[in-house]
Structure 1
């Protein structure tokens, strides 16, 4: 009986020990002199989910992390580490929440995937050209003394606390899917280096609007990943200024903002540029801006929008308002739409699309001659049909 009792006590002690080991999920180590792998016990290697590192990381430490530990880590906290550069490919493609060092300066090419919390300065970001979704999402830490997060329908961004500098911008899903005006906040004077570097943008669907206050655009800040349009275009404040597949950039600054280094996918070089009439010639001569496909005035762009006429006549009772532009039809819905079908004159289905926006744009080149029948189904169960000529 005594042996049984001792055996039971031994088993209970072992279980308690194992349970204590399993709950050690938060571990802090000081690395740099000794390899990170030697600083963790075997039990910690099996249980840690939140690893805090002070000191620095060696090349072999990054290899150790990539070798399997990252698969179980939720957070790697380097806030107080003495690291100013995260090497290229350092942490691989594993999703991760990374708390950046306060002294960080640069994140090299393809360094890691996931979310990074900026505790110090916003870092210079390397290339993520082959897969833009591999690029980390940057967010300023809560209560950051110099940075703030901005969330909107068009994009999420990291700004300086006084709002004069844009450090990072990621386009929102609505903008990517439906297009529109991406207006940089009024009062912004500087777009910092790599702010939008290699972010995916369907430039043919978006008006990039730069405010009057803009003075400087840093290295590779507008060197984006170009996407082909995948849906109908919906513009808001400004008409679309380019052609199919071309972007449009509206810069309201009276003096051409100074441009630093820009790459092959410089947004302006793939776009029509619209500027104040009084400084048109200055933009045509300004370094970098002259690479635009076409340079015209904002005044002419707005006239283009004002001069277009609605297809429907006065007083016609309809839930669809149609406006004809040079290359597109803009359909505005006065009640919630669900689906839009395009039909040929003999009733054949050409395309079908679920819609949730109150406005869509149909490129005229997508319509079938001699005319295309557009049938819209609304959330209230009603349907309306209009005929459009290419």
Structure 2
């Protein structure tokens, strides 16, 4: 097995533009399986690596220091080990999904969700731009979803009920933004019931040095909940704008007793934002 991966990374990757493993009978990529060592020709780049559609796990450092531009997921999103991908701001070395993927979808910024929008699998560093998702569907932030990311602010929506292992591990807090309109750089969780936490969710994360704002009426629940009670918690009243379901192609938005009208065409779905 080790010899197979050695042959792929030292021979095939340096000579091909695409390596298609979609139909390969592989369920696990071993630790550092594609890691480029000192003997690799780093001037050669594989444009696309199509991962096996039956892949279940990608082990520690599997693609670290590699020279593969796009890792294309063709089936379910696999579980991830530690430091799987080489990560630098604005590079292209991030997981993608195939156009015919039957299980996953990608948002405009490249973040990866389950097809029904209930699971956030992978968040792409976006300089504070909001991730748009259906606020009635997002339930789970998957293991390692934001591991090692730089975030400006964080808003965990009220619908989230579980957060996987190492989801926010090694997250760093960025205190500046080039997007002057980005108004909120605080760290918030709107869920009335504290979401269940996996292992090491906040491992070495700078989020642990920030105040985590939670619903004021749930503050005592968070203070008693495993994983949450170790954070710097503070209660907050979250104001949610209500959108009146009218038929005049206008939004009628009520907030704190005041109603505003905006003459733009209505959309069929309501959206919230996860700001990272």
Distance 1:270 1:130, change over 3 A: farther
Q: Which of 1 and 2 has greater Rg? A: 1
Distance 1:103 1:180, change over 3 A: closer
After TM superposition, give the deviation of residue 282 of structure 1 in Å: 0.9
Within the candidate set 42, 47, 51, 1:100 is matched to 51
After TM superposition, give the deviation of residue 67 of structure 1 in Å: 2.3
Within the candidate set 282, 297, 309, 2:221 is matched to 282
CA RMSD of aligned residues (A): 2.8
Within-5 A mapping of 1:156-235: 156-172=110-126, 175=127, 179=128, 186=135, 187-198=137-148, 200-201=149-150, 203=151, 206-226=152-172, 229=175, 234=180
- Distance between the aligned counterparts of 2:156 and 2:30, measured in 1? 33
Per the alignment, residue 76 of structure 2 pairs with: 121
Distance 1:185 1:290, change over 3 A: farther
Per the alignment, residue 265 of structure 1 pairs with: 204
Are the counterparts in 1 of residues 119 and 140 from structure 2 also a CA contact under 8 Å? yes
Pair 1:254 & 2:192 matched: yes
After TM superposition, give the deviation of residue 166 of structure 1 in Å: 0.9
After TM superposition, give the deviation of residue 211 of structure 1 in Å: 1.1
Give the secondary structure class of the aligned counterpart of 1:273: strand
Per the alignment, residue 140 of structure 1 pairs with: 97
Per the alignment, residue 251 of structure 2 pairs with: none
Q: TM-score, normalised by structure 2?
A: 0.71
Are the counterparts in 2 of residues 85 and 106 from structure 1 also a CA contact under 8 Å? yes
Within the candidate set 66, 73, 88, 2:16 is matched to 73
Greater RCO, 1 or 2 (C-alpha within 8 Å, sep 6+):
2
Distance 1:105 1:117, change over 3 A: same
Are the counterparts in 2 of residues 226 and 265 from structure 1 also a CA contact under 8 Å? no
- Distance between the aligned counterparts of 1:220 and 1:86, measured in 2? 19
Q: Which runs of 5 or more residues in structure 1 are unaligned?
A: 1-57, 241-247, 303-390
Give the secondary structure class of the aligned counterpart of 2:111: strand
Per the alignment, residue 295 of structure 1 pairs with: 234
Q: TM-score, normalised by structure 1?
A: 0.51
Distance 1:214 1:228, change over 3 A: closer
Question: Is the helix fraction higher in 1 or 2?
Answer: 1
After TM superposition, give the deviation of residue 213 of structure 1 in Å: 0.7
After TM superposition, give the deviation of residue 228 of structure 1 in Å: 5.5
Give the secondary structure class of the aligned counterpart of 2:122: strand
Distance 1:184 1:216, change over 3 A: farther
- Distance between the aligned counterparts of 1:230 and 1:236, measured in 2? 10
After TM superposition, give the deviation of residue 82 of structure 1 in Å: 0.9
Are the counterparts in 2 of residues 211 and 251 from structure 1 also a CA contact under 8 Å? yes
